[in-house]
Structure 1
């Protein structure tokens, strides 16, 4: 072997070694960034309340819910009374971005269907106090809203439903586990868990190990005993509707599944309005009457 060839091989091996080290350092660095910044990659709160129910001609009351013991503050929310005092009440929990104003259309639709609604912003969202949100904090906020509904508004838990959209559905599942006395749970466009969602975007990283913001709704399904309605649009490009099918399959309590043909992540209620309305009204009426037959699957 000539001296020139040996030198060339040495340089080639050195370059490969350097590239390998840089690749490892980059991978570790990216993994560290994902772990450190995970909350900023999951939550996208907005402080700007651009619309209120008044913009849609609806009567409402601004409410404030106390939350927190170590660092007490207030949650901001809306109370929309139904014209029919005998109808059920819904605690509405929104997803990871914007605030209750970004969910106004769905809130208004539910109110027009005849429900009284309590919709609140988590800490860090809208006019609510507090800093940047977290999973544990969101669970605490939902619990505070439930207590306000039952204790301050004196709503009978037998007529109080919990409704969660997207990430709010995972929050709603946790709340229903804490309060099995609720009349029922509605989960719309919700994922199985954050790590499972992350695998589609960050498939090259060990997300199961890195993420401590988990919102693992799937793992909680076997423990859930309250009547539950799962709603999902088949054209949802953010959360695949197959995740609702997984949640439905894993749930062991009374359960219903409604798939909205052509419905996206945000617009299933309008795209499939007739099917959506029928599913919500049938579910709440059946649950209120104590009908807990499960396995009903509605697709159209």
Structure 2
């Protein structure tokens, strides 16, 4: 093969490789976004809470673990990260229960114990269904807590339902903006199936908001959480944990801060203090 032919073929091979990689990324994006989804319908065995099953308006059945609040005390509705399990949060349920606070942790559609296949549309339906179920069964005030992927579900739910307050841990401006960070050479804005545009929905969340983020988060950069915090309406507070990242965010400080925030919101009238860092 002479040099002229090689110069013609190499660009064509590069274009072919780019298109192939683009196609593979497009087809696999939901597997990447929802790694915790499982084909099994059996919930993971848990050491805490009561197994509950919630029906969605589009015909899915969602599994959750539920610890009931004491009379007059609020409940926390928890939307997990994309690779997490509801069975992992016995420590949170126990800490909340010690203050009389309830907890419902939801397994999204397609995740263990729940039917269906995950998508943005589906998860947003799941969030509303879970809120309505908890409102009917607890009869008390509800604080919505969303972590990582679940922060987008929490923002949408709180914008449509009367939660008294919202906690967003490792929140993002949008999934599509994160994808642009990870894949700067792809037209991700055109290809993303589940953009989770919290930036377009946060204005509807008028309740008191607590943002929590690790300074060294390598999965959802602090800058993304800060950008969402900046456009959120008052009242709002942001706590940044020095020395922590994404998967190591849960520790005694975070549990204590969540409990303190929940307890301060009784009646939905308390305004949280402004942003602060925690060592």
Length-normalised TM-score, structure 1: 0.83
The number of equivalent residue pairs is 275
- Per-residue deviation, 1:214: 0.6
1:150 to 135, 139, 164: 135
The reply to whether residue 134 of structure 1 matches residue 119 of structure 2 is: yes
Counterpart Cα distance in 2 of 1:197 and 1:29: 22
SS in 2 for 1:204: coil
The reply to whether residue 96 of structure 1 matches residue 82 of structure 2 is: yes
1:67 to 37, 56, 59: 56
- Per-residue deviation, 1:172: 0.5
The reply to whether residue 53 of structure 1 matches residue 47 of structure 2 is: yes
| Structure 2: stretches of 5+ with no match in the other structure | none
Distance change >3 Å, CA 263–CA 85, structure 1 → 2: farther
| Mapping of residues 277-296 of structure 1, within 5 Å | 277-293=255-271, 296=274
Kept in 2, the 8 Å contact 1:53–1:108? The answer is: no
Stretch of structure 1 that moved more, 119-128 or 259-268: 259-268
Kept in 2, the 8 Å contact 1:170–1:216? The answer is: yes
Counterpart Cα distance in 1 of 2:195 and 2:93: 26
| Structure 1: stretches of 5+ with no match in the other structure | 1-7, 55-59
Length-normalised TM-score, structure 2: 0.89
In structure 2, what is the equivalent of residue 212 of structure 1?
193
The reply to whether residue 247 of structure 1 matches residue 225 of structure 2 is: no
In structure 1, what is the equivalent of residue 147 of structure 2?
165
- Per-residue deviation, 1:49: 4.5
Query: RCO higher in 1 or 2 (8 Å CA, sep ≥ 6)?
Result: 2
Q: Where do 4+ consecutive residues of structure 1 move more than 3 Å?
A: 46-51, 102-114, 289-295
